[in-house]
A and B are shown apart, each in its own frame.
Chain A
Amino acid sequence: MGESLPRLTPDLASAVLSRTLRRGGDFAEIFAEDRSSLSLRLEDGKVEEVSSGVDLGASIRVVKGPTTSFGYTDSLDEVALLALADRLSSSLSGAMVAPAPYVVVPVEAIVALRVAPAEVDTARKAEIVHLVDRTARGRSAEVRQVGAGYSEGLQRVWVANSEGTFACDERTRLAVSINVIAQREGLIQTGRETVARTAGFGLLDDEDVIAATLQAVDKAVVMLGARPSPSGRMPVILANGFGGVLFHEACGHGLEADFILKKTSIWEGRRGQGVAEALVTAYDDGASPGMWGSNAIDDEGTVTERTAVIEEGVLTGYLCDLLRGRRLGLPSTGNGRRQSFRHLPYPRMTNTYFAPGEVRAVDLIAGTPRAFYAKSLSGGQVDPATGDFVFSVSEGYLIENGQVGQAVRGATLIGNGAEVLRMIDAIADDLDVKAGMCGKEGQLVPVGTGQPTVRLRELTVGGTQV
């Protein structure tokens, strides 16, 4: 829309940081953001709504001792930023501190931006949601409703801090969400899928959208024929892709440094200890091109990396931002993330997954006489203090004599993070990472959750059949 792109220059950032620290402070940072978003929503076969908008602003935080003061303004205007700096520094009462000279963080684009979404006509984007609708309704006569959403966001960020970091990044995200409702007589079931990319428009193929739509329809239709799930302790096989929610919820959150620091994580004090069998290796990987949780830098200007959190069964790392890392005596792992300039950064996961094993998934299943097979999980929750978790199974089956059999509905998986890691006794070779949104501290950030097919010796399945 505008020809003159607003931005945070190193000079302006430096002036703001100096002002912020004029009455002291251990650390100061300015985070500026310019984000434009577009979304289209289809239901009942019609594009019902097209919405777009711009978020532009900056926040400043200053850390002194144990206290972080944080404020923001919906502007990148020098006067507004200096006024904010004055307001934040007014609560401090020390001697002025001079920010360090900048070392600009070299950022390599990790995305091949073939076509910027803004260059593509909105009508072409409307075709995508119609494609979902046509594909879904064409797949099965039992489809009653199709909801399809297209969303794109271009986020430009600038981060500068008093320790000499100056970094900027440009992030493009595209997502197509698919929500299918199928009905057979009085029974209704839903199927959901998402195609999400950290990429330009050119990387969004119609083929991917069609494939995901067919999966969503098939899931809903299969579940129409599902029987109520049994309850009790049993072996569980988690399919690749969506199954990665297990690691995210049951283990990943507890590895975030803020929980470690407050000793409210089951993993606190356990670095270097064995937490799983040697076949288990797990990563948080914020640098992998195209994955939904990837960025070149995190929201504190730290270059992202692949962090091994479990290596051959041994707990090796925590996920740190600058602040918590420092308090733990650890470097940032590039996990300082925030929803927007209106939010404080926290240690957050990027893309998490188990490293693949060598066995094929079909062989893993064939070698399991009896188990609950969770093909798709729709989400979950965990209490990091206890590690207790719950996952909902949106597509589940019973495995009998090494074969995937009867579909079952209404099941949840319930257990404990520490326990479930020890229960992993087989990992297949079919790693797949899915896109999701993770909520914490009232903030949503895009994450990837993935895994190969994984077998657990035993887990509690909650269903409606006693």
Chain B
Amino acid sequence: MSGDLIDIGRLALAQGSGLPGEIEVYVQHAQTTSIKVYGGEVESLVTGEPRGAGVRYVHQGRIGYAYTGDVGRDALASAVQQAVHNAAVAEPDVYASLPGAPREYPEVGGLWRTGLLSTPVERKVGLALAAEAGALAEPEVETVEESAYVDSATRIAIVSSAGVEVYEEQTFCYVYVSAHARRGDDVQTGMGFVTGRDPDDLDADAAGREGARKAVRQLGGAPCPTGRYTVVLDREVAASVFGFIAQALTAEAVQKGRSLFAGRVGQRVAADRFSLWDDGLHPDGMATSPFDDEGVPHQKTALVGHGVLQGYLHDTYTAAKEGGEIRSTGNASRGSYRGSPGVSPSNLVVAPGNGDLADLLGRVGTGLYVVSITGLHSGANAVSGEFSVGAVGLLIEGGALAAPVREVTIASDLLSLLQNVSDLGADTRWIPFGGSVLTPSVAIGDITVAGT
């Protein structure tokens, strides 16, 4: 398979031979399965093989991009032509360039598991059904709105006239459940999930029970009194908050004047106990691979060390613009072959503190445990740092979880939030939604909660 994708890349490159600029071809081929069950029956079974190629052309600092879902010779030739045409309209930027071949790539094992493609579809359906059954086993769970098994086997090749020629493949699968619990007129939802690289990794029943437990414990929720609280962010919430903050830690955001962290390298931006890094080579991460989306080796990059800002995430372009000793940190990223790369985190890792969630709640004593937030992307301003989001959770009283809370908002600004990190658990979990983040539960002091 590696040969096929590399060959497509070379074929595209050949269509542009003789052109004055540099060409990069990104080729993607995936096999995907998505199964949803409802009421013990298969609701939908979706299979597909999305594939395509993206061509980036750079000439005299002008960048043009074009993509095609058809990877035959004519379509590739047309995409190259279109990329050249598009580059002519873009305006020159002296820092625009393609990366050359690195001396070597790091070894990352275990990303591809053959079991994913050889597992029969009936077994995958069985996982989705097991998750649904796991949720329905819980008293007060009325329906499982959605129980799904999703997998993908993705292959990527990058070939460029600047010397890059790489291939990688990986498998990934997950089961998720959205459970609805009812008590009288009160309905609450809860989500559970498990992830892996092979269907055999997935404990579907556990995902179902997690969703059910989360739904049931919110029954009877009501707004809590308005005030300033110590909040403990559940790991899913912490992952989305730190993922959001990391957007402002890309050199792209800094160079464009869109980051509240601009000019603060070496300064204290967070509590001493807080450390955050990016690690594209972590063996368990969903974003792990030997190289980024322009073929630069992945690495581990410190972002915040004991509260002090260490640096930013770079791709080839932002590193060139920064100049000096700065090199790409291997953080070029694209959603698919349809898009040219931008800068974004790979796997984000938050340094753990001590103990499990119960220990952390015990140390916090009184506060609000936040289990989900809504409106982060519309309600938080990554430029100014201000945010105000809807929250659902449980009160913390006497060092333990107490009454459920809903229909409140929590508000602060991102810098205050980082500086007010007052404690962390050691209960780290990989969260795969909207990125890939490994984080424990995190306590943050002095947050405004608006309720009644």
Contacts and interface: CB of A to CB of B under 8 A. Distances in A.
Interface in B252-311: 256-258, 260
A221 B318 CA distance: 29
A411 B389 CA distance: 9
A56 B52 CA distance: 11
Interface in A239-298: 262-264
A382 B390 CA distance: 10
17 contacts: A48-B93, A53-B67, A53-B68, A54-B68, A67-B43, A67-B45, A69-B45, A71-B47, A147-B256, A183-B257, A380-B374, A380-B378, A386-B187, A386-B406, A389-B390, A390-B389, A463-B448
Given A47-B89, A122-B86, A190 B381 contact: yes
Main secondary structure of the interface of B (DSSP, over half): strand
B390 A381 contact: yes
B383 A70 contact: no
A344 interface: yes
B66 interface: yes
B450 A462 contact: yes
Interface stretch (A38-46, A134-142, A199-207, A423-431): A38-46
Interface string A435-466: 00000000000000000000000001111111
A464 B412 contact: yes
Interface of A: 1, 40, 43-44, 46-57, 65-75, 87, 91, 122-123, 126, 144-145, 147, 181, 183, 187-190, 229, 231-233, 262-264, 342, 344, 377-383, 385-386, 388-392, 409-412, 414-416, 460-466
B45 A70 contact: yes
B120 to A, nearest CB: 12
Contacts of A51: 64-67, 86, 339-340
Contacts of A414: 390, 407-409, 450
B320 interface: no
Contact of A410 (B45, B227, B339, B386): B386
A52 B66 contact: yes
B377 interface: yes
A70 B46 contact: yes
Given A231-B226, A388-B406, A466-B227, A344 B46 contact: yes
A391 B143 contact: no
Contact of B374 (A69, A390, A463, A466): A390
A127 B413 CA distance: 37
Given A378-B378, A462-B388, A188 B260 contact: yes
Given A48-B91, A386-B189, A460-B450, A75 B70 contact: yes
B59 interface: no
Contact of B228 (A91, A386, A466): A466
Contacts of B7: none
Interface string B383-406: 110111110100000000000001
Contacts of B411: 231, 410, 412, 462-464
Contacts of B378: 377-381, 391-392
A415 B374 CA distance: 12
A392 B376 CA distance: 9
B309 to A, nearest CB: 17
Contacts of B408: 414, 462
B375 interface: yes
A390 B41 contact: no
A68 B86 contact: no
A135 B201 CA distance: 55
B375 A390 contact: yes
B388 A464 contact: yes
Interface of B: 38-39, 41-52, 54, 63-70, 75, 78-79, 82, 85-87, 89-91, 93, 143, 145, 180, 187-189, 223, 226-228, 256-258, 260, 338-340, 374-375, 377-379, 381, 383-384, 386-390, 392, 406-413, 448, 450-452
Given A190-B383, A385-B145, A466-B226, A262 B38 contact: yes
Given A231-B226, A412-B389, A464-B448, A383 B407 contact: no
A351 B209 CA distance: 38
B48 A72 contact: yes
Query: Which of B226, B383, B389 has the most chain A CB atoms closer than 10 A to its own CB?
Result: B383
Contacts of A383: 189, 374
Contacts of B377: 379
Query: Which of A48, A56, A181, A414 has the most chain B CB atoms closer than 10 A to its own CB?
Result: A414
Contact of B409 (A47, A71, A123, A462): A462
Given A122-B86, A386-B189, A412-B390, 15 more contacts: A52-B67, A53-B338, A74-B51, A74-B52, A91-B45, A183-B257, A190-B383, A377-B378, A381-B390, A386-B188, A390-B409, A392-B375, A392-B379, A392-B389, A466-B227
Query: Which of B38, B46, B49, B52 has the most chain A CB atoms closer than 10 A to its own CB?
Result: B46
Query: Which of B41, B187, B188, B387 has the most chain A CB atoms closer than 10 A to its own CB?
Result: B187
B390 A462 contact: yes
A444 B91 CA distance: 30
Contacts of B379: 378-379, 390, 392, 412
A386 B404 CA distance: 15
A396 to B, nearest CB: 11
A68 B44 contact: yes
Nearest to A67: B42
A221 B143 CA distance: 48
Contact of A460 (B42, B75, B87, B407): B407
A184 B69 CA distance: 46
Contacts of B389: 390, 392, 412
Query: Which of A190, A342, A381, A416 has the most chain B CB atoms closer than 10 A to its own CB?
Result: A381
Contacts of B407: 388, 414-416, 460
A145 B45 contact: no
B89 A122 contact: yes
A205 B450 CA distance: 43
Query: Which of A56, A147, A392 has the most chain B CB atoms closer than 10 A to its own CB?
Result: A392
Contacts of A462: 388, 390, 408-411, 450
A386 B407 CA distance: 11
A66 B42 contact: yes
A68 B47 CA distance: 11
A116 B260 CA distance: 42
Contact of B65 (A50, A87, A123, A232): A50
A246 B245 CA distance: 27
A144 B48 contact: no
B383 A54 contact: no
Contact of B48 (A44, A71, A381): A71
Nearest to B215: A385
A66 B70 contact: no
A144 to B, nearest CB: 5
A347 to B, nearest CB: 14
A70 B43 CA distance: 11
Contacts of A91: 45
B143 A262 contact: yes
Contacts of A379: 375, 377-379
A188 B383 contact: yes
Nearest to A76: B70
Contact of B145 (A47, A262, A381, A415): A262
Q: Please list the 8 inter-chain residue pairs (A to B) with the smallest Cβ-Cβ separation, ordered nearest first.
A: A462-B409, A379-B378, A390-B390, A53-B67, A231-B450, A50-B86, A392-B379, A51-B65
B87 to A, nearest CB: 7
A465 B85 CA distance: 53
Contacts of A231: 226, 409, 411, 448, 450
A410 B447 CA distance: 14
A144 B93 contact: no
A74 B69 contact: yes
Contacts of B39: 66
